[in-house]
Amino acid sequence: MNLQQALDNPSSCFANPADVVRTDEFSQADKIQILRRWEYDARLLEVAQEENMTGGTASRLAEVLDALHSLGVEGSSGATAKPGGAPH
C-alpha cells in the first residue's frame, strides 16, 4: 500500500479507521497522519450533512476519533486545513 494514496483518500485504502491502527505497513506517525486526514474528511462530511448536502454517506468521525485515541492521540477540536486543502 502506498502512503501517499492512504493520505489522499484513507477510505479507499482501509475499510474502517481501526484498520489503520492494526496495519503493520506504516509507522505510528504515518498512522496518525492518515487518521488526521480521515478526521478532516469526516468533519467536512458532517458540515455537509448539517447543510443537507450529502448523498446519504455517513460520517465516521467517532470511529476515527476512537482510532486516534487508541494510538494515544486526541482528535483535534476542529481540523484545520493548510493551503491545498489537506489537514495539518
pLDDT of residue 82: 40
Q: Structure pTM?
A: 0.78
| Spatial contact of 54 and 45, defined as CB atoms under 8 Å apart | yes
DSSP 23-72: -SSS-HHHHHHHHHHHHHHHHHHHHHHHTT-SSSPPP-HHHHHHHHHHTT
Tell me the C-alpha distance between 42 and 17, whole Å: 11
Tell me the C-alpha distance between 46 and 28, whole Å: 26
User: Stretch 11-20: mean pLDDT, rounded?
Assistant: 96
Other C-beta atoms lying within 10 Å of the C-beta of residue 18: 14
pLDDT of residue 55: 63
Whether residue 48 is predicted with pLDDT greater than 80 in this model: the reply is yes
Q: Is the pLDDT higher at 4 or at 88?
A: 4
Whether residue 29 is predicted with pLDDT greater than 80 in this model: the reply is yes
User: Stretch 20-36: mean pLDDT, rounded?
Assistant: 97
What is the Cβ-side half-sphere exposure of residue 65, based on CA atoms within 13 angstroms? 12
Instruction: Give the amino acid at 57.
Output: T
